[in-house]
Amino acid sequence: MTVTVTWYLVLAAALFSMGAAGVLIRRNALIMFMSIELMLNSVNLTFVAVSKHLGLIEGQVAALFVMVIAAAEVTVGLAIIVAIFRFRSSANVDELSELRG
């Protein structure tokens, strides 16, 4: 018995769950962003592992596209956080309750 594709997939599931827990538990917007990055990276791991398993390379191309979109998302997200910080002097998501009715 050697390393199988299931190990990589279960590891990616663990990373994804940790990232989801981070988004739910943390209330600093930057750390929530980091948790989202963890989740995106775990999905990339799934893409690459399954592409290895199926003998295709389309999964690696998909992982590259995910990375590009993640970079764009970080850029815009951090700009939004900076804009909110200029407005509220805080990166705490609990204080951003203007939409509450």
Residues 8-47 that bind other proteins (CB under 8 A): 8-11, 13-22, 24-31, 33-35, 37-38, 41-42, 44-45
**Of 37, 39, 43, whose CA–CA distance to 59 is shortest?**
43
61 near other proteins, judged by CB under 8 A: yes
Q: Which helix (H) or strand (E) holds 98?
A: none
| Under rule CB under 8 A, residue 95 binds other proteins | no
Residue entry with tokens 């538990």: 25
Minimum Å distance from CB 99 to other proteins? 18
Q: How far is the CB of 96 from other proteins (least distance, A)?
A: 13
Q: How far is the CB of 77 from other proteins (least distance, A)?
A: 9
Counting contacts by CB under 8 A, is residue 67 touching other proteins? yes
Q: How many residues bind other proteins (CB under 8 A)?
A: 71
CA quadruple 20, 22, 23, 25: dihedral sign? positive
CB 101, min distance to other proteins, A: 21
Question: Two tokens at 63?
Answer: 């992982």
Nearest to 71 by CA among 33, 97, 98, 16: 33
